[in-house]
Each structure stands twice: as C-alpha cells, then as structure tokens.
A and B are shown apart, each in its own frame.
Chain A
Amino acid sequence: MAEMKRCTNIDRISNLPWDVLDTILVHIPLKEAVRTSILSSKWRYKWTGLSRFNIDDKCFPSYLSDKVLRWKVILKIIHQVQSNHGGPVEKFRLAAYCMPNHCDLDQWIWFLTDKGIKELILKEFDSIKRFKLPPEVFSCPQLSCLELYGCIIMLSPTFRGLNSLISLNLSHIYISCDTLESLIANCPVLERLTLINIDHSTVFKISNLNLKYLKIDSKFEDICLKSVPLLSTVDIRLRVKPRHSDQGKACNLVRVIGCLYSINKLILSSNFLEFLAYNDVPERLPAMLNHLLTLDLRDARLDSSKVVKVLLSILCSSPSLEELIISVSPLCRYTFLDFQRSECLVGLYFNKLKVVKIRGLLSTNHECEFIKFILAHSPVLETITIVTYGGEIIPNSVLLQFEPASEHVKVISLRS
C-alpha cells in the first residue's frame, strides 16, 4: 500500500470510543496489544479491557521453555485483566504449551463466565484428561462456540442446556456416553459438532434437531444418529477395527447412514467403511438419499468385497450425486475383485455426476471394469481423474475406448 501522508497533527487515536479502539486492537497479536501500555499514561491499561484474548505460543520468547514459568506469565496477564477489566469478554483462547495451575484456571473461567463469554477455546496440553472443567461453563447463557482439548467434562445435575451454543469441538476429552448424549441433545441451536479422540465413549448417541455438520475421528464401538433431520455433512473416521457384530442385527449401513435423508456430503474413512459393511449390505438403501451431492471415501479397503458392496449400495441410492471421490487404502493389493454388474447397477445412471476422482489404483482389470462402468453410466460427466500408485498408467486411449456416455468428458490419468 503506498504510503500517503500518514501523520495526524493531533492525537485522534487515544480518544476513540472504546468499542472502536477495541475493534482495532483485537486485530493485532496480544503481545503487541500489551505493548501499547507504554505509549502514554492513558494507554497503560487499555489493553486489559479488550473483548478478545488469544494466548498462544507466539506470546513467549523461544528461550522460555519452562512450562511453569510460561504459566506464570499467563497468570500475570489474567490477573491484570481481572483487576482492570470493565466490559464483557467475548472471546478467550488459550492454546499454549504451559503447565496451568488448575485452581487459577478454575477461577479465571469463573471470571469469564461472569463476563458473558461467547467463544471459549481451551487447550490443556500438559495434564491431558486430568483438568476437570468447572461446570459453570455449561450454564453460560451466551456461549456460542466452545472448543476444548484435554479436559474432563462432567455436567452438574442442574444442567439445563446451552441455549446459544452453535459450535462444539471436543478433542482428547474424557466424557461419558450419557454426558455427551445429554450435552448434544440439550443445545437447541447447535450446528457444528466435532469429536476427536473421545476414547472413553464407546457408543456415540447423537440426537439434535438443528445439527448440520458432524465430524468424528475417534475409537468407538457403535454410533447412533437419531433425530438429525438437518444433518447435511457427515465426516466419520473410525480409528480401530470394528468388533464383530451379532448376526441377525440390522445392517450398520442401513441403520446409521440410511436414515440421513437430508445429507449433502458424506466422508467415510477407513475402518468406518468396514463397520458399515457389517451384516448383509442390501443392493440399495430402503430410502433414496435424494440430496447426496458428494461421496468421499478415504483410505478405503476396496479389497474387501463387503466394502465394495457398501460403495455400490450408496451409489444405487444417490440419484443426485455430483461428485465421487475415492482414495484407496495403500494396504490393498488388489481392488474391486468381485465387481459385477448386479441387477441394480445395469439400469443405473448417474444423471448428475460431474466429477470423479480415484486415487490409489493398481491398474488391474477389475478396476478397469469399475471405471468402464462409471464412464458408461455418467452422461454429464465433466472430468475423471485417475491416479495410480505404481504399475502402469491406464493410457487415455484405453480409457476413451470404454465408450463414455458423456461426449465432453476430460480424462486425466496420472501416476504417483
């Protein structure tokens, strides 16, 4: 930006209305905001009244590696804020390597809940799952965004719900199944839920009438998505091999995914696909997923005929699909072994499918069968990108021989 005459003759900044100055100062790193204390006596405590505080590793010089000393610095900051702060604190983020004293942290959180905190991000890296979050957090009327790492969550018996909570992100948290279920169900405006490494909860029971986005990356034994009419994006990765399920129970794919009528985007990773494959996978889901636009399979064990069945079952149930992305697991030695055009597939056309990306193929005949099928049944396909690992690239000339249904399809074949 060209430097125009950028000096004022009078001091116009020190007397700006507080909320305007706050809007300016929250755009600079906390360390620099604190440095304004030296500008003049008027400025000495202005920084303590900020509406947002972001304490992370950038606040500390690199030679200060002792985590106890780092906490002492943080404590100094929060004491100064507590002594001087006038208005509300909207956002507080703590994501620094340090060793928090849990009493001090408790007291500070108490202070924040009193100050009408809206966004609280707390990452306790030191004593993971030993810090019990004060229950006051869960009665904050204005809390709209909560992100926690490494604490223990227990709800008080008087827990009524968080009426303003829109986004909840829990990572490496200790929370029981029932507490989690209750927490999710009692947040009436919740839109986004992220659960990472919540390993003590063996069963995830998720029920929320407003939920739109769900991401899970954790170990679990079972999952139940009930009453989630607005759920539009689901991204699930199961970190452990699924346990063998009792025979005679309903198919997991039908039970978990089959009821997501509003779903727009499905991201299913690794072991979760094997979980979904348990018990007889039908050729098609009982009800169509009319709004599914994107299907993204990651780390997919397509050497398992059951997983292939899961893929085909979803494809047969998604008339509006626009984008198909498949990443084959590097553990596969072959893929699509049993791919055959079943009754269901013969008359199936992907009338909206525009983009296909398949990564990790090994250039086998069976794969070619699958690609041939996709090409022949996708009349509006725009691009298909194929990335093979090792082996030969499938030459474009061969691919074009597959008689694609779409005239203008662009075929991209790469080798990684």
Chain B
Amino acid sequence: MSSVKKVTLKSSDGEIFEVEETVAMESQTIKGLIEDDCADNAIPLPNVTGHILSLVIQYCKEHTSSSDSNSSKSNEKLKAWDTQFINVDLNVLFDLIMAANYLNVKGLLDLTCQTVADMIKEKTPEQIRAMFNIVNDFTPEEEEEVRRENAWAFEISLKNNNVVDTFEVEESMAKELQTIKNMIEDNYTDSVIPLHNVTSDILELVIEDCKKHVEAAESESEPSYSLASKLIDDPLKA
C-alpha cells in the first residue's frame, strides 16, 4: 500500500501541522512551493497563526475530499458545511480572509468575502459603521456633498399601508418629516418605510410640500418654512 505524501506546515506561532499533499495543494501558494521543490522541510507561514491555519486546513480537507470522484458528498451538503464553518466571530472571519488571500485558496476567499458582502447588503451606512467600527470623519458639509454627488444611490422608499403606493424620495426630503427622520436614525432596516396612518393622496401632498420646503431651505428663503411646516404636521395627526 503506497503511503500518502504529506507536507509539514508551520504557523507564525510555531505550531506544526502535518497535512496530506493533495489537501495542502488547495492553496495555490503552497502548491507553487511544492512544485518548485521548496517543501522538503516544514513550510513556514509567518502570516498565519496556528488557530487560523487549523481552520484553513479543515476547509481544504473538506473541499478536497469532495472533488474526489469516490465522494458522494452532494453540493447541498457541502454548502451546508460551508455555512456552518463560516459562522464565526467577525475577527476570526477577517483573519480567515487574510489567510485565504495569502495562501491563495480561492474557494475560501470567495466564501469569506461573500459572507462579509452579505453583512453589508441592505444595511444603512450607520449600521455598517457600527458593525465594522468605521469612524465617520466627514464634516456635515462634506457628507452632504457626497450625498449630492451620488444622489441616485441614496434614494429610499416610503410606502402607504392600505393602497400599496410606493413613493421614492430623496433621503434629505424624507428627513423633513420628524417621524420619518427618527425612523431613519433608528436604523429602520426595511428599505421601504410603511406609513400606516397616511393615505396615498395625502402622502403625495406631503411629499410635494417637503420638496418645496427643501428647495426653500436651499435658497435660504425664510417665509416658506413656517407655511410648509403647518401643512406637514396636520396629515400625520390623522
């Protein structure tokens, strides 16, 4: 019986791992080293800790055996395994991303990046900042500038509950209504904000007024402000 070829990997914190060559070759980086005959002794991996390396090896093992023609593992089972595998602390997730990038394990890089992408999808900027600890270093003027520059991307929708009429308005306009402003700032995750107490024709009027109010504020004309706000408050009391 032929013995299975193995390679030795050494993590940044000195942990030694003995892995089958086929499993190790899931990493294009390691594959290159093996093919260039640089793998006789332990391969040092200074950018990957033992903990993360063990996870990467786990992933590679699972995915090598699945490409084996003898393996009966279905795609669904593999996907389920991946979902379970990637359910980790965010710090570990980032470590895995960096390791997958350094070791060039394409499947793992795609999996980890897709996971982060799913976390970003459909979140408000405030939520994303909170999740990833991003510091907002814009001044209010700069922030306005960016919003205007990319206005089309910052549109959100308002929805009436009874007759499903969706009105899409610029966020700056929607914020004119205190209620909605609060909803936005409370990170209302739904991209459509339902307004239970307002019918669509009233909502239309309100939006029209908001538009005028915003335009008035931009042209710095005082009188329109008070007039508009009177109209805004009434329908919402209904």
The listed residue (A9, A29, A36, A76) touching B133 by CB distance below 8 A is A9
Given the known A-B contacts A2-B87, A62-B166, are A32 and B136 also in contact in the complex, defined by CB atoms under 8 Å?
no
The listed residue (A11, A20, A28, A44) touching B132 by CB distance below 8 A is A11
In the bound complex, do residue A23 and residue B90 qualify as a contact, i.e. CB atoms below 8 Å apart? Answer: no
In the bound complex, do residue B125 and residue A23 qualify as a contact, i.e. CB atoms below 8 Å apart? Answer: no
Nearest B-chain residue to A62, judged by Cβ: B168
Nearest B-chain residue to A34, judged by Cβ: B153
**B50-89, CB < 8 A from A:** 83, 87-89
Proximity string of chain A (35-56) to chain B, C-beta cutoff 8 Å, 1 when within and 0 when not? 1111111111000000000000
Q: Is B129 interfacial (CB 8 A cutoff)?
A: yes
Nearest A-chain residue to B106, judged by Cβ: A23
Q: Is A17 interfacial (CB 8 A cutoff)?
A: yes
Interface segment among B112-120, B177-185, B217-225: the answer is B112-120
Main secondary structure of the interface of A (DSSP, over half): loop
Residues of B within 8 A of A36 (CB): 120, 125, 128
Q: Is A249 interfacial (CB 8 A cutoff)?
A: no
Q: Is A61 interfacial (CB 8 A cutoff)?
A: yes
Proximity string of chain A (55-72) to chain B, C-beta cutoff 8 Å, 1 when within and 0 when not? 000011111100000000
Residues of B within 8 A of A8 (CB): 90-91, 94, 132-133
In the bound complex, do residue A17 and residue B153 qualify as a contact, i.e. CB atoms below 8 Å apart? Answer: no
Q: Is A244 interfacial (CB 8 A cutoff)?
A: no
Q: Is B200 interfacial (CB 8 A cutoff)?
A: no
In the bound complex, do residue B135 and residue A20 qualify as a contact, i.e. CB atoms below 8 Å apart? Answer: no
Proximity string of chain A (401-416) to chain B, C-beta cutoff 8 Å, 1 when within and 0 when not? 0000000000000000
Given the known A-B contacts A4-B89, A23-B110, A62-B168, are A31 and B134 also in contact in the complex, defined by CB atoms under 8 Å?
no
Residues of B within 8 A of A1 (CB): 83, 87
In the bound complex, do residue B91 and residue A37 qualify as a contact, i.e. CB atoms below 8 Å apart? Answer: no
* Distance between Cα atoms of A8 and B90 in the complex (Å): 6
Nearest chain A CB to B122 CB, angstrom units: 7
Given the known A-B contacts A23-B109, A73-B152, are A5 and B137 also in contact in the complex, defined by CB atoms under 8 Å?
no
Residues of A within 8 A of B91 (CB): 8, 12
Residues of A within 8 A of B87 (CB): 1-2, 4
* Distance between Cα atoms of A122 and B117 in the complex (Å): 26
In the bound complex, do residue B113 and residue A40 qualify as a contact, i.e. CB atoms below 8 Å apart? Answer: no
* Distance between Cα atoms of A175 and B147 in the complex (Å): 43
Proximity string of chain B (138-168) to chain A, C-beta cutoff 8 Å, 1 when within and 0 when not? 1000110011011011110100000000111
**B92-121, CB < 8 A from A:** 94, 97-98, 101, 109-110, 113-114, 116-121
Nearest chain B CB to A22 CB, angstrom units: 9
Q: Is B131 interfacial (CB 8 A cutoff)?
A: yes
* Distance between Cα atoms of A43 and B87 in the complex (Å): 27
* Distance between Cα atoms of A103 and B138 in the complex (Å): 36
Residues of A within 8 A of B168 (CB): 61-63
Nearest A-chain residue to B92, judged by Cβ: A4
* Distance between Cα atoms of A13 and B116 in the complex (Å): 9
Residues of B within 8 A of A2 (CB): 87
The listed residue (A5, A27, A37, A64) touching B150 by CB distance below 8 A is A37
Residues of A within 8 A of B97 (CB): 16, 20
Residues of A within 8 A of B154 (CB): 35, 38
* Distance between Cα atoms of A167 and B170 in the complex (Å): 40
* Distance between Cα atoms of A208 and B186 in the complex (Å): 60
Nearest A-chain residue to B109, judged by Cβ: A23
Given the known A-B contacts A12-B94, A38-B146, are A23 and B132 also in contact in the complex, defined by CB atoms under 8 Å?
no
Nearest chain B CB to A286 CB, angstrom units: 38
In the bound complex, do residue B89 and residue A5 qualify as a contact, i.e. CB atoms below 8 Å apart? Answer: yes
* Distance between Cα atoms of A6 and B113 in the complex (Å): 15
Q: Is A7 interfacial (CB 8 A cutoff)?
A: yes
Q: Is A351 interfacial (CB 8 A cutoff)?
A: no
In the bound complex, do residue B150 and residue A4 qualify as a contact, i.e. CB atoms below 8 Å apart? Answer: no
13 residue pairs bridging A and B, Cβ less than 8 Å apart: A1-B87, A6-B90, A7-B90, A11-B135, A17-B101, A23-B113, A29-B121, A31-B153, A37-B150, A38-B150, A39-B136, A62-B168, A80-B149
Besides A27-B113, A35-B125, 13 new A-B residue pairs in contact (Cβ under 8 A), listed by A number: A2-B87, A6-B90, A7-B90, A8-B91, A20-B101, A20-B113, A23-B109, A32-B153, A35-B154, A36-B128, A38-B147, A41-B142, A63-B168
